[in-house]
Chain A
Amino acid sequence: MPVPDVFELARNGERRALGRLLTLVERGGVNGDKVAEISHPIAGSSHVVGLTGAPGAGKSTITGRLAAAAGLASESGVGVVAIDPSSPITGGAILGDRIRMDEVIDREGTFVRSMATRGSSGGLALAVPGAIRVLDAVGYDPVIIETVGVGQVEVDIAGTADTTIVVVTPGWGDAVQANKAGLLEVADIFVVNKAERPGASDARRDLELMLDLGAHPDPNKPTWRAPILMTTATDGSGIDELWDQVVAHRSWLTETGELLGRRQNRDRFEMLGRVDELLGGLGRKRAESEQGLALLADVQSRKLSPTAAAAELLADLLES
């Protein structure tokens, strides 16, 4: 079946077709490009919510609850993409987010897709922007993305989502870690999950303190101070308040024009990323050609510098 037909089925609510589209996005290539080509013009209206935080913080449980709360407020169904790391050695993965969500979500109204990072260095699978685009295009709103919280990822997700939620838990260190990882800048909403545990209010105070210290409001720009919410995701307490804040943030984004700015930035980054990818692919292909191998031999015999060789390989592109 051609991609446009699969897409039509997915738009008509056929889940299996949507599942297949997401597979095509993950695989990339001709079919993946086709999916992007069809979905891009009609995407862009869904609210993209990102969740990040350390493993075990409760992100999947919160995502499931949040999807349920969002589902009550939305008629379009909630899309979820949950990302777990691939093993760098075997490429395999155990995708265990769904198990937490299935316990709490409304199955009819929610579409959950698990994704492995598949060799992308951050915790965001390369296919994530494409997956968001498809879910958006077939009508899911909001789209919630759960990412593995390691290193750079928190910042990556902030470049991908309209609203970024950072999840921490009680106990010494989380808030400090959050600060170090540069989360204060990227978080639109903080959640202290497992709030029934001792130390929850300390975690909250730590975050507040750091927000105070880090705040340098630019009087010429609209500012949003990230609220701190307390949740116990396992029993659902605090989730309605969290959803209210997500909605409030969305309104703020729209009213201030920030939403447009963030999305334009996102499009720019994605296009530049694709440029890198295409040029890199072309360059590597040329490097294998007769001319490329001759240039390599010159570099190895020290007749030519690596830079000069690379420039010659791409001379036709670099001229203008």
Chain B
Amino acid sequence: MSTESTTTDVAAQPDGEPLRVILAKLGLDGHDRGLKVVARMLRDAGVEVIYLGIRQTTATIINAAEQEDADAIGLSMHNAGHLTLAPRMVEAVKEAGLDIPVIVGGIIPDDDVIELQNKGIAAVLGPGASTDDVVAAVRTSISN
């Protein structure tokens, strides 16, 4: 038997397999309440959340994404740094040769949302996002 005929695509995400999503907060600011809420939402939607918590760097997140074979990176942003930090994450993902979406959650002004999307952020979620919103954003980002 040839390898081709016995091997299905190693990159495919088969139906019914749980998504694996990294959740982290970049930068120095301190609390993780929001992040924990999102972690529970995703878990309750059947997602395997790799929880990294606060004070992460792009390097620690990339390292985790590679080892965990994550399907997406979720960043919580609550300071004014989102316009620099989130695009930097997208750059780091590209540099590492990874092909996974970066999703941002937090209180982000509308203008900034557009700028973030222009800079490669796959989705932006506001504080009022429901579990369905969060899960839908993750799923569509991954399939795009």
Contacts and interface: CB of A to CB of B under 8 A. Distances in A.
Contacts of B17: 27
A99 B7 CA distance: 35
A18 B60 contact: no
Given A1-B11, A2-B3, A92-B42, A113 B67 contact: yes
Contacts of A30: 6-8
Nearest to A26: B17
Q: Is chain B's interface secondary structure helix, strand, loop, or mixed overall?
A: mixed
Contact of A20 (B3, B46, B69, B97): B69
A23 B7 contact: no
A90 B48 contact: no
Nearest to B67: A19
A238 B26 CA distance: 32
Contacts of A304: none
Interface residues of A, number: 37
Contacts of B49: 92-95
Given A2-B3, A111-B67, A99 B51 contact: yes
A263 interface: no
Given A90-B43, A90-B44, A1 B51 contact: no
B50 A98 contact: yes
Contact of B10 (A20, A86, A111): A20
Which residue, of A23, A111, A118, has the highest number of chain B Cβ atoms within 10 A?
A23
A92 B46 contact: yes
B73 to A, nearest CB: 14
A256 B64 CA distance: 39
Interface residues of B, number: 35
Given A15-B66, A19-B68, A93-B43, 9 more contacts: A3-B7, A16-B96, A16-B98, A18-B67, A23-B20, A27-B14, A86-B18, A92-B46, A98-B68
Interface of B: 3-4, 6-8, 10-11, 14, 17-18, 20, 39-40, 42-53, 60, 63-64, 66-69, 96-98
23 contacts: A1-B11, A2-B3, A2-B10, A16-B69, A16-B98, A19-B66, A19-B68, A20-B11, A20-B69, A30-B8, A31-B8, A31-B10, A34-B6, A86-B18, A90-B46, A92-B43, A92-B47, A93-B49, A94-B49, A98-B52, A107-B63, A114-B68, A116-B18
Interface of A: 1-4, 6, 15-16, 18-20, 22-24, 27, 29-31, 34, 86-87, 90-96, 98-99, 102, 107, 111-114, 116, 118
